[in-house]
Structure 1
């Protein structure tokens, strides 16, 4: 009998989304030893979400998906216990996370995971991980926490528009136009929010969108561009956000 393969999420963008906001929140709130188990717990929750959503979506081989989801979830719980004991306020993040997960489950059940609303809810989920990392440091429920969530959310929303405009919706010119408009606004939004220098963190995203949106781009090239964009966004965000603390 052929052995079952290990279950790993196929969406490479998810790896960036689970990491980038967390790193920004950690640096903004000052790193400490509790961030290690918190990130491991957060990472395994992400791993757990993929097979569990597949189990909701698919009727075949459901026990296999559930098995991996429970396994990853159990590891996540073990990792999260120490930081939750150290800071019980982290439990409060469970409320919005469960609400957002419900939206993802609803779309998975209807096999409409690529709906824009579903993508935005997933992005907000990952951005909240940055808020938790910030709070676990020296952070509080303040303006900087809101900035960590908002700027992470804005960055990855731009990625959604760009990726859709070069892949599945490439022939739909409206997505290219939406990508242009969104990235133009993205450069102005930090100024409107009182963080003018943060516009620099979105210059790469805007250049990528204005030069490639709506064109045929090889998946590998898109992947490399997205990795480079995520790295530069982290570096600029951790440098620029403290200026407004």
Structure 2
């Protein structure tokens, strides 16, 4: 079975969606929306792989198209009953073209590619928020801001312990970013959300620029995502 292998992707898929849903009013309609969102994410992996791997391209395409077709089963009825959801399509299409471009140019690890992925998943959270009765406004923007700040911090941290570990500037970037991410929530409707950024800051100060085993990084990232979600639900 072909499934995405990036553990960070699973967190970015679920956490913004759950926070957006919880900030509004959870409904049964969130279930098919999440299943469609999940299947579209699963479709993206084999479809992107088909762009860069000439061998077994048919296999990659068949899995990607299969996942996309399954997503449509859940998504089409939602769009019929909630046609305003189609308004997210142009934004998602633009954001999807960013990883396509980076794959074609063999630059998947580019910082801009990571940021576009975070924005894409935050858009899914916005859709979940509005499906629950939320409206465009400051609360929605701040829900997206919290998610964007948190997951962008994971990008800085992961780069500072892997590919850019020996680059001292990235260690400094990681430290500075996490300090800024800790302070920004103080100026929002839920200033106590700054507590959710204490763990990422401590993690960056202790480990950025050092050699850390991938398994340990994965466990720290899972713990970070869970604590972020818990703080969000507490201070909602």
- Do both share a fold (TM > 0.5)? yes
Report whether the alignment pairs 1:180 with 2:175: yes
Report whether the alignment pairs 1:125 with 2:120: yes
Aligned to 1:155: 150
- Separation (CA, whole Å) in 2 of partners of 1:91 and 1:238: 28
The equivalent position to 2:4 in structure 1, one of 5, 9, 14, is 9
* Mean Cα deviation higher: 167-176 or 109-118: 167-176
Secondary structure of the corresponding residue to residue 98 of structure 2: helix
CA deviation string 1:124-158 (max 9, x = no partner): 10111110000000211121211121111110000
Aligned to 2:133: 138
Structure 1, unaligned runs of 5 or more: 1-5
Aligned to 2:186: 191
Aligned to 1:79: 74
Report whether the alignment pairs 1:222 with 2:217: yes
Number of aligned residues: 236
Contact 1:57 1:110 in 2 (8 A): no
Contact 2:139 2:189 in 1 (8 A): no
Contact 2:52 2:103 in 1 (8 A): yes
TM-score, normalized by length of structure 1? 0.93
* Mean Cα deviation higher: 119-128 or 76-85: 76-85
- Separation (CA, whole Å) in 2 of partners of 1:61 and 1:15: 25
Structure 2, unaligned runs of 5 or more: none
Give matches, 1:64-103, under 5 Å: 64-103=59-98
Secondary structure of the corresponding residue to residue 33 of structure 1: coil
- Separation (CA, whole Å) in 1 of partners of 2:125 and 2:207: 29
